Amino acid sequence: MAVALVCGGGGALGGAIVDALRARGDRIVVADLHPPAAGDDVRAEALDLTKPDEVEALWQRLAADGEGPQWVVNATGGYRDGTVADTDPDTLDFLDNLNLRTAWWSCRSAARHLPAGGAVVNVGSQAAVAGGTGTAAYAVTKAAVVRLTEVLAAEAGAQGIRVNAVLPSLIDTPANRATLPASVLAHAVPAAQIASVIAFLLSDAAAAVTGAIVPVYGLGA
């Protein structure tokens, strides 16, 4: 049974990713500041993914327990509005930590410990490549995740490790349903559909795919 580490597995998209990987028989490790309850095939690990020492310690614990991951998903992230002109330092630090640094530290440990044949999927955003206004710090930090994916794919290929990213647009989540109008939600992509793309990228069927930046915008994008 392969072990899949889902960082940010406590969120709506993270939960859908956990469900998709469990359905195909993977053993799941959920790493989150506030992870969901553990189960027979789910191990819950509470840690601050912005802290490199805590991330590396997690990998050491998993290896010691014979549960070193083969698959890694970096789904931790956050969003705040703002233009370049009105973004304050606290907002930039918050989004840099949550969007980029969580992915960076997880990717660093994955590059050190994943076996040949392993794979990483990072979760970026359509905003990373589409520009637009009002999402400056979010778009820039997610764009950094895209470049991190491309760089690590080049570095880790010699180790037999694949690294890809998915770029969701608006995700159909309970939080978005509670705050957004129906006209906007009509274009939202169900989290389960995004999770199915991630599950494909974390499979032998995608053995020839690395360095890919995959849009999952839905048909109405």
**119-129 burial, b for 16+ CB within 10 Å, e for fewer?**
bbbbbbbbbbe
Is residue 79 annotated as part of the catalytic site, yes or no? Answer: no
98 pLDDT exceeds 90? yes
Question: What interhelical angle do 102-113 and 52-64 show, nearest 10?
Answer: 40
Tens of pLDDT along 189-219?
899 999 999 999 999 999 999 999 999 998 7
- What would the 3-class secondary structure string for 166-180 be? EEECCEECHHHHHHC
DSSP 8-state assignment for residue 34: S
Beta bridge partner(s), residue 172: 190
Cβ neighbours of 138 (radius 10 Å): 23
Residue 188, SS3?
A: coil
Residue 122, SS3?
A: strand
Average pLDDT over residues 53-67: 98
The Cβ-side half-sphere exposure at 144, using a 13 Å CA radius, reads 17
The catalytic residue among 7, 138, 139, 156 is 138
Q: Global pTM?
A: 0.95
Which domains are seen in the chain, by residue range?
3-216 (3.40.50.720)
Q: Which element (helix H / strand E) includes 49?
A: none
- pLDDT grade, residue 221 (50/70/90)? low
CA distance 99 to 119: 19
Tens of pLDDT along 101-151?
999 999 999 999 999 999 999 999 999 998 789 999 999 999 999 999 999
For residues 210, 215, 219 and 221, what is the CA-based torsion angle, rounded to 10 degrees? -170
